[in-house]
Amino acid sequence: MSTGYQKIKPHKLVIPSTITPKTTKKKYDAIVVGAGPAGSTAAYFMAKEGMNVLLLERGPYPGAKNCGGASIIAEATHKLFPNFWDEMDCERLVTSQSYWWLDETSAITAGFRSMRLAAAPFNRFTVKRPIFYAWLAQKAVTEGATLCLNHHVSHILWEGRQAYGVALSPPQDDNELLADIIIAADGANSLLTERSGLTPAVSPNHLSLYVKETIALSSDSIEERFNLKPGHGALIGLIGYPTAGFNGTASIHTFKDSISINIGMTITNYVQAGLPPFSLLARLKRHPVIDTLIRGGITTEYGSATIPEGGYTAIPKLIHPGVLVVGDAASLVNGTHGFNLAMWSGYFAAQTAINAKISGDFSIKSLHLYRQLLDKSFILQNMKHNAKAASFERDVPYFFSLYSHIANEAAFEITKVYTMPIKTKRKLVWKKIIGLQPITRILRDMWKGIKVLWGN
Ligand SMILES: Cc1cc2nc3c(=O)[nH]c(=O)nc-3n(C[C@H](O)[C@H](O)[C@H](O)COP(=O)(O)OP(=O)(O)OC[C@H]3O[C@@H](n4cnc5c(N)ncnc54)[C@H](O)[C@@H]3O)c2cc1C
């Protein structure tokens, strides 16, 4: 049966070489800091319009500072980079998505799988980060942007209140790089904007630390264990037991010859739990329903990374004279969705910079277009809709774990066949539920949860 998804040919990974700008005091139209999805997208669209763009990346290649893979939303990416799946070597086409609510020994699962998700223009792909990042950076270079690798930007330079360039760390011969506009795309916990006095340090309540492992398994084993057609992939969100009594999330992604498992919660929660991050991942891997998925696999990567999960109310000031903040640096993350928001914010920043270049005006007033474009887009509308999610997770810190436990206990009693009348069994289930949490508190917590989902 045709899946509708045909691999054209694997994208040959061409890592752009390091280029050192030769002319001293050359002024660029724009400097972009960070060759992640946000920065490379901004650089690509500005260069495409003929702007002279310098893209600075601290790593030895784009994606070097990130580990493993993730999933990208096809429609959001396709609208910016039409038919990107023909150019980039995607891993698997996702046709199965599910959530598993775990307690210590069991899981309640709810999912959706459909071949309709395999029809062009598709829904989601899993991708390996270095391939995705290199592909995007290569696109910017092809349009004429200059990419400098191993260039760590320490801070923004100011003349009065207007930005005029950036400085590198460690200092180099040609240390001051000049431009009309700086785009800060340096990712979560942006030290560039913090050091430059533009944003306060990200609160530990708003910063989640994820630990992540890539486990190699044969393609056949993955397809058998996750019940997938060849080339298709699965995503599983894991809730409850993984985060040891706190709110947070874990997930499993499938790739061609590996799967990744990651888990994260806020830094404040780690401190309260008194648990080192790696121990959460280790205990999740031992869970009976997870162990069967990863058994026999070989760990090929292990790493950690942060996600700014403070939501709408934690978004810092995004526009400064001569500076725009994009992607994770701007806390533009909705749940754990970040790539599409990063790329679209990079695109809006590019539109704003192109407009400012034409008018020759890089003041806050002129750059306000960036905020207007964001406000009108799905990015800020969705983040606004979920604005109360972060505070809800802080107010009801036990929500995911306690209610996953209660649901699993109830499901066990319902599934177990006893020699007792149905009425007695119903009473047993009810007693079990209210023995774990008084009904008034259950109703109050559920009402709060519904209000957050509803966007009130
Ligand atoms: C474990 C985990 C899983 C995730 N899974 C998903 C997923 O499945 N789907 C999804 O949509 N999102 C996912 N996300 C979120 C997603 O990774 C981010 O939202 C996205 O990468 C943000 O892109 P960005 O370009 O803003 O930042 P980044 O991807 O972090 O890129 C920033 C770049 O800037 C460079 N840099 C940083 N500082 C400097 C400096 N001073 N000078 C020069 N260069 C610098 C970095 O090296 C990096 O290359 C996940 C995040 C984590 C941690």
Q: Where are the domains of the chain?
A: 27-81+128-202+311-385, 399-454
Q: Which of 85-94, 115-124, 164-173 has the lowest mean pLDDT?
A: 164-173
Name the pLDDT band for 8 (thresholds 50, 70, 90): very low
Q: Give the pLDDT of residue 120.
A: 87
Report pTM: 0.92
Mean local confidence (pLDDT), 359-381: 96
- CATH fold label, 27-81+128-202+311-385: FAD/NAD(P)-binding domain (3.50.50)
Tell how many helices (H) and how many strands (E) occur in the chain: 16, 17
Q: Give the pLDDT of residue 453.
A: 82
Mean local confidence (pLDDT), 211-228: 97
Contact partners, residue 432, CB within 8 Å, separation at least 6: 409, 410, 413
CA distance 309 to 344: 18
Atom of ligand 1 nearest to the CA of 63: 49
Cβ < 6 A, ligand 1 pocket: 33-39, 56-59, 65-66, 70-71, 152-153, 185-187, 192, 210, 212, 262, 305, 307, 327-329, 333, 336-340, 342
Mean local confidence (pLDDT), 135-155: 96
CA of 43 to the centre of ligand 1 (A): 16
Q: Give the pLDDT of residue 336.
A: 67
Residue nearest to atom 45 of ligand 1 (CA): 34
Atom of ligand 1 nearest to the CA of 192: 41
Q: Which helix (H) or strand (E) holds 168?
A: strand 162-168
CA of 322 to the centre of ligand 1 (A): 23
CA of 42 to the centre of ligand 1 (A): 14
Mean local confidence (pLDDT), 176-190: 96
Mean local confidence (pLDDT), 418-445: 94
CA distance 124 to 118: 9
Mean local confidence (pLDDT), 201-224: 95
DSSP state of 416: S
State percent of the chain over pLDDT 90.
82
CB 294 within 8 A of CB 303: no
CB 163 within 8 A of CB 156: yes
**Among 94, 169, 280, 307, residue to substitute to test ligand 1 (most atoms within 8 Å of Cβ):** 307
CA distance 403 to 409: 10
CA of 444 to the centre of ligand 1 (A): 37
Is residue 223's pLDDT more than 80? yes
CA of 328 to the centre of ligand 1 (A): 7
CA of 419 to the centre of ligand 1 (A): 55
Q: Give the pLDDT of residue 66.
A: 80
Residue nearest to atom 21 of ligand 1 (CA): 339
Q: Which of 209, 195, 204 is nearest to 155 (CA)?
A: 195
Is residue 7's pLDDT more than 60? no
Question: Which of the pair, 11 or 55, is modelled with greater confidence?
Answer: 55
Q: Give the pLDDT of residue 69.
A: 87
Residue nearest to atom 35 of ligand 1 (CA): 34
Q: Give the pLDDT of residue 203.
A: 92
Q: What is the pLDDT of residues 262-306, one digit of tens each?
A: 999 999 999 999 989 999 999 999 999 999 999 999 999 999 999
DSSP state of 206: T
107-113/153-159 β-pairing = unpaired
Name the pLDDT band for 22 (thresholds 50, 70, 90): very low
Q: Which helix (H) or strand (E) holds 90?
A: none
Residue nearest to atom 37 of ligand 1 (CA): 186
CA distance 62 to 59: 6
Residue nearest to atom 34 of ligand 1 (CA): 34
Mean local confidence (pLDDT), 45-66: 94
Q: Which of 91, 163, 161 is nearest to 130 (CA)?
A: 91
Name the pLDDT band for 373 (thresholds 50, 70, 90): very high
Name the pLDDT band for 79 (thresholds 50, 70, 90): very high
**Among 157, 339, 383, residue to substitute to test ligand 1 (most atoms within 8 Å of Cβ):** 339
Q: Which of 188, 149, 130 is nearest to 56 (CA)?
A: 149
Question: Which of the pair, 2 or 63, is modelled with greater confidence?
Answer: 63
Q: Give the pLDDT of residue 21.
A: 47
Is residue 337's pLDDT more than 90? no
Q: What is the mean pLDDT of the chain?
A: 91
**Among 65, 71, 172, residue to substitute to test ligand 1 (most atoms within 8 Å of Cβ):** 65
